[in-house]
Structure 1
Amino acid sequence: MPHTWPETAPTEVELTAGDAVLVVDLRGGALRRLAVGDWEVLDGYPAGTVLPGWRGAVLLPWPNRIRDGRWSWDGEDLQLEVQSPAEPHAIHGLLSWQPWSVLDRADRSVTVATTVEPHPGYPFRLAAAVDHALTADRLTCTVRVRNTGDRPAPFGAGMHPYLSVGATVDGGIGDAELTLPGRTELVLDGGMPTGERRPFAGAVGRIGERALDTPLTDLDRDADGWARVRLAGAAGELELALDDAWPWLQVYSGDTLPAGQWRRSLAVEPMTCPPNAFADGVDLVVLEPGEQWTGTWSLAWAPGA
């Protein structure tokens, strides 16, 4: 019998609509690239590389961090793998490095999917899919999760796009203008909640030297039920909108990223729950066997003059 080996080349799927190009990485299902003409709308990463700063990642079965990876469910103490000795927390779920497959493909849409298999510290089984639809001026992403196990399954979901509006040097995001819909900030210390919440003024204006790594909730929503983030810079204006399945939003200005990535773009992360939600029990989604959850967000662009 001849020796065979698994495919090792990076695999991805590409959509186009007008001048817009979307690339979805099938290692982790991440949004690797979104460009409109010469404008790199998402601050992505090269094919076949480890996504720096979790750029474009799908965050399941939890977004953000769980302190020391420890939590309890249904009377059972659970221990997740942690990031590192320097950051001893479980971070951004279990899916960023595993293969995803294409379930459906059309000219301007694609559905990619994978399975959350039971892991140490997460003894549940979920099916996950993301539907991407691209037009010349908008990307719409719908995240779907289904409990395929035989017991109720708690989870949280998020996505991690870095929005770029034309900064080309470190610190350049400071020139951008920002408006956020959040009215309440969850106060963090070392990335973990302190238990304090305080009012947040969403009309940020020019970002300047302001450092943001901020979970927001109590989102202001328009008459259609969607909350909207607006970011404008030299390249144009972006509007990220999220439906009511996402009660949380985290904004991160890249202050802990290395040179060459530092404060060049703004991560705007739709989330179903805040940091440490597994341990604190805040806003977890719990699915019965066979039950499913759906949440949609979109990103629209208007190039500058």
Structure 2
Amino acid sequence: MLRAGGLEAALSPAVGGSLLHLALDGVDLMRRAPDGADDPLAMASFPLAPYANRIANGRFVVDGEDYQLPLNFGDHPHSIHGFGWQTNWTAKATTASSVLLAHEHGGNAGWPWLYRAEQQVTLTASALSMSLSVENVGDRPMPVGLGFHPYFAADTGTTLRFDARGLWLSTPDMLPDREAPADRLGDWSRPARVQGDYLVDNAYTGWAGPAIVERGDGLRLMLSATGADWLHVYRPPGEAYFCLEPVSHMPDAINRGGMAMIAPGETARLSMTVAVEKIDTPLP
């Protein structure tokens, strides 16, 4: 458990290094994980490493070699979100308001590159900061992508605002299909109600932050990130939550020339901050 002022957070290193909850004065800012939950998809947030979102059919080619990842998301046809969210992390250093988590990947047939991942999680009285890094500890260049997958709580008065250059529409199996104007699925350039009756599960390109969430209970959250040029928005219909995922690349980037490569000894980094404040006039 981490505390700073009125902010409180808890993590589960054993369940994907996930965030269990984030609350201000007892009010949940993210979807709270149920007691005893052992599924990362039930958590408040989880890390995405060494890639974010989907890889088509779990197949890709690097330096002329073909690779096949396990299909790790039920009957979904693609591999998704990397390995960090489905493995055990270890707490390396803790204080009352911070923790350092780590996990190591020793290489396998689907992802032969060796890496060490770390998450630094810190609370202040007004913000949660999370940084994620992956160091290539092998002897050859490695593809890498990073992100976070936070689930924000939403009431009927919750609005969202952010700027982006465009978005990618998806195929029925949720792979990027074609680029479209950023307001194609809703105009988020001005405050718009989050809850809706259709699915949004799309990557927005040209996002430089921040994304601003204002809730009907009078709280404002501001999401900012470094190392994240994309914002993936997941808004399921009829739910009291939605996701704003700062990520370093689009879905299936490894098959589309959009995945970074890091040399042995190099480290890729991405960080996310969620700042919170009380606003004077709650939305009706």
Matched residue type, 2:127: R
Matched residue type, 2:128: L
Q: How does 1:1-305 map to 2 (within 5 A)?
A: 14-27=1-14, 28-49=16-37, 50-52=39-41, 55-83=44-72, 86-165=75-154, 167=155, 172=156, 175-189=157-171, 190-194=173-177, 196-201=178-183, 202-203=188-189, 205-209=192-196, 211-219=199-207, 221=208, 227-235=209-217, 236-243=219-226, 245-255=227-237, 262-282=238-258, 284-303=259-278
Q: Quick check: 2:194–2:235 contact (8 Å CA) kept in 1? A: no
Q: Quick check: 2:40–2:86 contact (8 Å CA) kept in 1? A: no
1:177 CA drift (Å): 1.1
Structure 1 residues 53, 186: closer, same or farther in 2, change over 3 A?
Answer: farther
- d(CA) in 2 for partners of 1:142, 1:76: 31
Q: In percent, how many aligned pairs have the same letter?
A: 27
1:162 CA drift (Å): 0.7
CA deviation digits over 1:240-272, x for unaligned, max 9? Answer: 0112x11111011123xxxxxx42111010101
Matched residue type, 1:291: E
Structure 1 residues 87, 72: closer, same or farther in 2, change over 3 A?
Answer: same
CA deviation digits over 1:173-215, x for unaligned, max 9? Answer: xx32110222210121121011x11221332512352532120
Matched residue type, 2:211: V
1:121 CA drift (Å): 1.5
Structure 1 residues 53, 193: closer, same or farther in 2, change over 3 A?
Answer: farther
1:144 CA drift (Å): 1.4
Q: Quick check: 2:31–2:43 contact (8 Å CA) kept in 1? A: no
- d(CA) in 2 for partners of 1:84, 1:232: 32
Q: Which piece of structure 1 moves more, 73-82 or 203-212?
A: 203-212
TM-score, length-normalised on structure 1?
0.83
- d(CA) in 1 for partners of 2:64, 2:42: 34
SS of the residue 1:68 aligns to: helix
- d(CA) in 2 for partners of 1:250, 1:84: 18
Q: Quick check: 2:153–2:241 contact (8 Å CA) kept in 1? A: yes
- d(CA) in 1 for partners of 2:230, 2:201: 13
- d(CA) in 2 for partners of 1:272, 1:55: 20
1:52 CA drift (Å): 2.9
What is the aligned residue count?
270
Matched residue type, 1:44: R
After the TM superposition, list the runs of 4 or more consecutive aligned residues in structure 1 that deviate by more than 3 angstroms.
Answer: 83-86
Q: Quick check: 1:179–1:203 contact (8 Å CA) kept in 2? A: yes
Q: Which piece of structure 1 moves more, 51-60 or 262-271?
A: 51-60
SS of the residue 2:165 aligns to: strand
- d(CA) in 2 for partners of 1:218, 1:275: 15
Structure 1: 5+ residue runs without aligned partners?
1-13, 222-226, 256-261
Structure 2: 5+ residue runs without aligned partners?
none
Q: Quick check: 2:149–2:245 contact (8 Å CA) kept in 1? A: yes
TM-score, length-normalised on structure 2?
0.89
